Chain A
Amino acid sequence: MAPLRVWIAVAVGGCALIALAYLPPRGAAPRGPRFATYSPEPTAARRRAQAVAKEWRETDASLRLLEDRQHVKWDSSRVGPAIIFRGPTLPPTAVRTVEAVADSMWRALGLGETKVRAALVIALERAPGSAPGPIPDQNGVAFLTPDSTDRTTCMAFLPANHFWTAVLLGHPPRHFEPDWLARWFQSGLGPCAYYAAYGTPSRSVRSWLAARNWDVALYLGTHGIAGERFLSVNLLGDPRYSWYWDGIYSLSPSTVACLAGRLDGCRSAVLYGADDDARIAVPEIVRLEQGWWRKQHLLPGERFLGDVARDVGRDRFQSFWTSSLPVDTALAAALRQPVGEWTKQWERRFIQPIRLGAAAPLGATLLALLLAAVAVSAVALAASRRQVR
């Protein structure tokens, strides 16, 4: 019994020593400053002014697109989209450069003379207060698709922010790469590129795309938002960080299921909106809000139909695009396999299937096994040293 008391005394003494070393003396100041402040919120009147400004921007963009469609001038010497500039006047040499880049981008997409023509309205940045009304939104890309009033013109509205305005005015930054401008134009064409390449879609396809705000037909080319490096799936970040998972779980369940490689999830993610008989507005103006990639039903959906078109070939995609069959049937017929299966394989090109549900990491599992082994060994050792008289 006496040795046990000694051990207990040693343990208590050890604890006291540790406490002496680590606990601060009474009255000592904490190490770091501690405060949490709350920032002010805008007043209700300010929020209303912002909401009216947003509504005005949308109405103004629609109005400008419709007006520009009436006055667009087609240059027969060019193959690419017509370019209309708004804001500061560009020097003629800069206009010619931009048109040349747009033409080469158009050819790179495999487009030439097309039945539906595209026009790109580029709004250059203006100094605040230089025009009446709220400051224009430099992120609000919009498209006016062909309709009964003009069946052969598709308009794309592309606001140029500070960076692109400087480039267009002939002041690019030092490290500017020549192909950046072509990529920007390509990403700005959106649905107009599909209209130019494949004509007007069938009612079922158009209704499906309208229901999901054309999120699977934003890029016809091989590049992503701004080249191969930027796909919407890359914007999630790195799985090591918590915001990646915050981003994942802010998506719809079918989108997450598809990211995990589940067939049903992929099918639902692709066919979202296909069952609805969405009312197609006239004029149909498709607007991409800032941060549209956070609301996608399929990642990276912006290139989905572009990849389908490349994989199945022009004829099969054309038959899907103009098919009067339901979208799931028409798409499966073009792909020659179930939609979910093809999409699952396609998804794997961009992202490794994520793991859903609780799963202990390998390191933690090994550590737990090691600790368990140590505990069992300690007990076994103690039992072997035990003597019963």
Chain B
Amino acid sequence: MFRRFGLLLILGVLACPLLGQDTLINRLRIRSDSLLRTWQQAVAIANLADSLERERATIGRDTIAVGALRIITNASPLPVRQAAALAWPAIDSLYGSAAADLAERPYFIRAVDPDSNARRAVLHVGLEVPWDLDLRSTTTLLLTTVPIAPPDRALATWLTGVLRPSIHPREDVGGVYLEFVTAPSQAARGCFMGDIASCIDALGLGDTNHQLERWYPSAPERRAVVTGSFADFFDHGGSAPALRECVAGRDASCTALLRSLPADVLPKPLSDAARVSLVRDALRLGGQDAYRRLLRDPEAAIADRLAEAAGVSVDSLVAGWRNAALAARPAPVELPWWAIGVALGWVTVFAGCGLSSSRWRL
């Protein structure tokens, strides 16, 4: 009897930790369930608070309507209406009929005292802007923060961001010309020389297999990419010897280093700005509904979507874009003929002063 009791006692002692663990798991389960309920309530309250905060942001504010733009702002010297009048044509011409949706997505702008010592309420909705901004800066602000719905993931990834109206259209296209002539990539140079297939490659619109070989087919190009963009990155640990070999001219090492990078990290021959300018061209060609057509099928290839938006084949679109970039070639700095005379004159004056100087007399 006593032995049986002892055995039960030992078994009880041995089972204690397991029992303790079960208790702990139960405790954690109850806590997890309780936290989940609390979180659901907290989210509902947060949604309500955000909604109230948006309502509060409109109380006592003016709503400025220009085209489909709606700007909710407080009374201040900020030239919002004039800026909206300047910004609206640019927004309308880019998004076309899709710009009408902006009536449902207002800007919230809180104009505040530019004195940084002035007390300010915490901002929960919209933008806080000093009221001494001039018209140009306010217009730029409206153009760079258009509250348009973000594009689908595929287009946003290809563009690396959101499409906005251009502030300096001429300079933007001129920038593409500079990329044509300076990018260390045969694809970019081929595009410059008029090969439309190279343009499509350089813009990432064609076949994306073997991108390294297509974008940077020669050894010097690959070396330039490694040393120009990834020298610091590869100069550690196991990749440092390969980097040194690459710098010394061993192409296999350069290629191996570039292959070790994820595909989307490889520098593009033509920048995101070039892609944005192509989309702007497509939207300009496609007319009022072009932006809606661009977003219609998120599963389609980007080239097909651009062609659909522009209403022309992708080859024609890219050819037109290339021609526009070539036409926007930045003007070289020209020295007027008289500047040479002025420069020589100043040199003569200073040389004369120096040579004719007499010893000082005090």
Contacts and interface: CB of A to CB of B under 8 A. Distances in A.
A122 to B, nearest CB: 20
Interface in A1-55: 29-30, 33-46, 48-49, 52-53, 55
Contact of B46 (A38, A43, A56, A62): A43
Given A29-B134, A43-B46, A283-B24, 17 more contacts: A29-B136, A35-B137, A35-B141, A36-B130, A38-B123, A39-B127, A40-B126, A41-B122, A45-B48, A66-B24, A173-B263, A228-B236, A229-B234, A229-B237, A230-B236, A234-B236, A386-B362
A39 B361 CA distance: 67
Contacts of A45: 42, 45-46, 48-50
Nearest to A63: B28
A279 interface: no
Interface string A299-343: 000000000000000000000000000000000000000000000
Contacts of B360: 382, 385-387
A389 B138 CA distance: 69
Nearest to A4: B360
B166 interface: no
A63 B35 CA distance: 13
Interface in B1-37: 17-18, 20-21, 24-25, 28-29, 31-32, 35-36
Interface residues of B, number: 57
B31 to A, nearest CB: 5
A66 B27 CA distance: 12
Interface string B203-216: 00000010000000
23 contacts: A33-B136, A34-B134, A34-B137, A35-B137, A35-B138, A35-B141, A38-B123, A41-B123, A44-B49, A45-B46, A48-B45, A49-B42, A56-B36, A59-B28, A63-B25, A63-B29, A70-B25, A149-B17, A174-B263, A177-B260, A229-B239, A231-B236, A387-B362
Contact of A388 (B127, B233, B239, B362): B362
Interface in B277-327: none
A105 B81 CA distance: 65
A56 B361 contact: no
Which secondary structure dominates chain A's binding surface? loop
Interface string A57-74: 001101100110010000
Given A133-B36, A228-B238, A387-B361, A52 B42 contact: yes
A39 B125 CA distance: 8
A19 to B, nearest CB: 17
Contact of B39 (A53, A66, A387): A53
Max count, chain B CB within 10 A of own CB: residue among A39, A43, A48, A66: A43
